Amino acid sequence: MTAPPDDLVALLSRAAIEPAAPEPLRVLTPQDWANLATMQGYQLAALWLEHDRVLGLVLLDDWVLPVATIGGESAIALMRSAHPALALAQRHGDFPEASGEGIYQIGEGPVGGVIAEPMHRRLHLAGDCVVRADHRFGYAHRGILALIGGKSPRAAARFAARIAGVSAVAHSLAFARAAEAASGAVLPAQIEPLRDGMAAAERCVAALLALARLAEICAAPRLAATLIALRTDIANAAEQIFYHRLMMDMVVPGGIDTVPRLSALPSLIAILQSVRPALQRFGAWRWRRRWADLAAPVRLRVWQAIHAAEAACASFARFGAAPSTEPWLVALPSISGAGFGQAPGLDGPVYCWMRLEAGFIDSCAIANAGLAAIASLESTAPGLTRVAFERRATLLMPPIGMIDL
């Protein structure tokens, strides 16, 4: 294992092999990193070897671009998308050309094609068979890291919560943990189990929605409606407790922003307990023939939903057993320091690294291991029919907000 350099810009702890990961992630080899580091304009800022995995951050100009567990071209594309100048430069062209007899291209984007998302997908096809799939991002860059810089962690938390609505708690939690680590804040015992429970409930919702999306495109509207109704019930219960259907803005550096309405917690637990029977009753199994080409990822999403629901219930039970007279929110000491935070997301951890100067954010990087799904999607595309590829993309594509910070 290589020790991290003294002037460590970030330490991205362990590789993103959560039980939730949909595929083994492509991980850069040391040689890949060496190649990356010599690319013009890029500078390897931090490198951390853990077991057989290499994770790190890259500097481009003054931008810290998190690149974790993402390999090859996608890593470069994602780095570019995080940088506004390059995001603009890559908006047109820059797609590799696949040549050969009978190969043609289809472009899909927010104006043409069926996708309403701010991204550009280019498919090379031979007949109905995908030869190559590429994605380009950058359209939805909101300047989040720049907005976070210079603010106190508490003031900046609302930006972290809005990186991606489907993982608002996970991003907020990683951000909060980084700020707490950087400032040396010590939290009351009751906080972490509650925050863990919220993050797990959110993962359950994300898995249900991924399945619902698939049910929609597989013409199984009743199943989709059942899954969405379950998600809506969870959102309604979450609103009762945390005053927000997506639980946004509750997890903040130092604890929980507003005293939750705990009397409503049992109703959320009851809904989460109904996830396993609901999925077993209506579940993916009955619809297996419709998505035979996706059996493994569908099974995984079903398992994720059940596992996350049960993890949430277990965390809420731990929370119930913790002392409840302590404060919900502690002030962060206004000191200088750096810290690393991590929180589980649906397809792997969310990482956050932060450096504070006298209590204000001097530098911050946020990476979501779920982005590795894009590399996996592209690398497994060749040979699939277009329909099969689009189903796969529907199930695995991470929200664009996670990519275009």
Partner 1 sequence: MKIPHPDPTIGAALAQRLAAEGRVRPTGGLAIRHIDAGSCGGCELELRSVRAWQAGLAAYGIRFVDDPRTADILLVTGVATQGMAEPLRRTLAAMAGAKLVVVMGDCAVDGGVFKDSPAVLGGVARLIAVDLALTGCPPAPEQVINGLLAALAS
For the chain, give me the number of helices (H) and strands (E)? 14, 11
- 124 interface partner picked from partner 1, ligand SF4, none, CB below 5 to 8 A per type: none
Q: Does 79 interact with partner 1 (rule: CB under 8 A)?
A: no
Q: What is the DSSP letter of 98?
A: P
The amino acid sitting at 31 is: Q
Give which of 294, 272, 273 is closest to 284, Cα–Cα.
Answer: 294
C-beta of residue 247 within 8 angstroms of C-beta of residue 202:
yes
**Rounded to the nearest 5°, which phi and psi values hold at 53?**
-110, 150
Site string for partner 1, 52-71 (x = CB under 8 A): --------------------
- 234 interface partner picked from partner 1, ligand SF4, none, CB below 5 to 8 A per type: none
Q: Does 162 interact with partner 1 (rule: CB under 8 A)?
A: yes
- 111 interface partner picked from ligand SF4, partner 1, none, CB below 5 to 8 A per type: partner 1
- 110 interface partner picked from partner 1, ligand SF4, none, CB below 5 to 8 A per type: partner 1
The amino acid sitting at 307 is: H
Residues that bind ligand SF4 (CB under 6 A): 162, 165
Question: Least distance to ligand SF4 from the beta carbon of 168, Å?
Answer: 8
Q: Does 186 interact with partner 1 (rule: CB under 8 A)?
A: no
Note the Cα 402 to chain centre separation in Å.
6
Question: Least distance to partner 1 from the beta carbon of 346, Å?
Answer: 12
C-beta of residue 12 within 8 angstroms of C-beta of residue 48:
yes
Give which of 400, 342, 334, 355 is closest to 373, Cα–Cα.
Answer: 400
Give which of 385, 380, 387, 376 is closest to 126, Cα–Cα.
Answer: 385
Among 209, 312, 354, 384, binds partner 1 (CB under 8 A): 209
The tokens for 79 are 């780095």
Alpha carbon distance 208, 304 (integer Å): 9
Among 17, 147, 264, 322, binds partner 1 (CB under 8 A): 147
Q: Does 214 interact with partner 1 (rule: CB under 8 A)?
A: no
Q: Does 15 interact with partner 1 (rule: CB under 8 A)?
A: no
Question: Least distance to ligand SF4 from the beta carbon of 309, Å?
Answer: 23
Total number of residues that touch partner 1 (CB under 8 A): 47
Among 232, 258, 324, 334, binds partner 1 (CB under 8 A): 232
Alpha carbon distance 1, 109 (integer Å): 43
Query: What stretches of 68-184 adopt beta strand conformation (E)?
Result: 103-108, 120-126, 129-136
Which chain residues interact with partner 1 by CB under 8 A? Answer: 84, 87-88, 91, 109-111, 113-114, 116-118, 138-144, 146-147, 158-159, 162-166, 168, 209, 212-213, 221, 224-225, 228-229, 231-232, 235, 245-246, 248, 399-401, 404
